[in-house]
Amino acid sequence: MMRQQIVETIETMVEQTNQQSDMASAWKTPLVGFADAGDPLFGELKTVVRPSHRLPGDLLPGACTVIAYFLPFDPAIPRSNHRGSFSSESWAVAYIETNRLIAGINERVNRLLEHGGFRGTRLPATHNFDEEQLMSDWSHKHVAYIAGIGSFGHHHMLITEKGCCGRLGSVVTDAAIEPTPRTERERCLFKFDGSCRKCEKRCPAKALEADLFGRHACYDRLLENARLHERHGLADVCGKCAAIVPCSFTDPVKRATRKKRSDR
C-alpha cells in the first residue's frame, strides 16, 4: 500500500506542477524505484564514489528503504539545448525549476510517510558536493542505480527506460518497502557494443575523451553557464552530452535489440 501511495504522490506532484501557469518547464511521467537500505551496494559506494559517501543509516538511523525517482524532461527542453556550445535558457531554467520540484516532492512524500507513522529525509536535489573534489557524500544517480532505475552511460549519467534527460531525487525512510528488481544489462550503446560515443563528441569541455571523466573540465563549463544564466538563479549546468543523443529519451540498447529481432 505505501509503495503505491508513494508512486502516486510523486506522479501527482509532477502533474500538478505541469499545470502551473508560472512554470516554464514541463516533465513526463516519473520513474520511481525502491532499494533495501541494507543492500551491500550502498557500502560499495565508499569505494566507487568516495570513502565519505554516506550509508542510508547515516542519514536516518533505522533506515529500511531508499526511494529514488527520475523526472524526465519534456522533449522540448533537451531539443532546445542541442545547438551551440553553451546551455540553452530552457535547460538552465528547467534545472532551477526542477530543484524546486524535487524539494516539493520530498516534502510531500515525507508528509505521507509521517501520516503512516514513518520517518523520512528531506535531501537537497544538488549542491551537496565537495567543491574541491567535485564529489558528493550522497550521490542521487548511484542511489537510483541501486534502486533499479537505470544504468550508467559513457557520459557518466544514468540512462533509464525514459532516457537520461531529466533529474533525480531520493528519500531515505524507515518504512519497509519491497525493493525494485535491478537489471545488470547495459543501456549505453558504447558500453554494449563499442558504438555511438555521440555524448563524447558533443561535450564542449572535452571531458569524456579520456577513460577517466574530466570532472574539473566539466565543472568549469558548468560555472560558465551559471554566469551566462545567473539572472534566473543558480544554474551550474551544461547537458550537451545528453541532448540530443540516442539515450536522450529512451534506452537505446533495448530499442536496437528489438529492431534487430524484428529485422530477422
Helices (DSSP H) in the chain: which residue ranges? 2-18, 40-48, 56-59, 76-80, 89-115, 140-146, 189-193, 198-202, 215-228, 252-263
Residue 263 has pLDDT above 80, yes or no: no
Q: Are 106 and 169 in contact (CB under 8 A)?
A: yes
Tell me the per-residue pLDDT of 106-136, one tens digit each, with 9 for 90 and over. Answer: 999 999 999 999 999 999 887 666 566 667 8
Q: Are 35 and 179 in contact (CB under 8 A)?
A: yes
Tell me the per-residue pLDDT of 14-34, one tens digit each, with 9 for 90 and over. Answer: 999 999 999 999 999 999 999
Listed by start position, the domains of the chain span 2-252
User: For the chain, how long is the longest CA-to-CA vector?
Assistant: 54
Closest CA to 124 of 98, 148, 85: 98
Nine cell digits for residue 159: 540512462
The whole-number pLDDT of residue 132 equals 65
Q: Range with the lowest mean pLDDT among 15-29, 131-145, 185-199?
A: 131-145
At position 193, the amino acid (one-letter code) is: D
Other C-beta atoms lying within 10 Å of the C-beta of residue 79: 18
Nine cell digits for residue 125: 536535489
The whole-number pLDDT of residue 133 equals 60
Closest CA to 30 of 7, 4, 59, 48: 7
The whole-number pLDDT of residue 183 equals 85
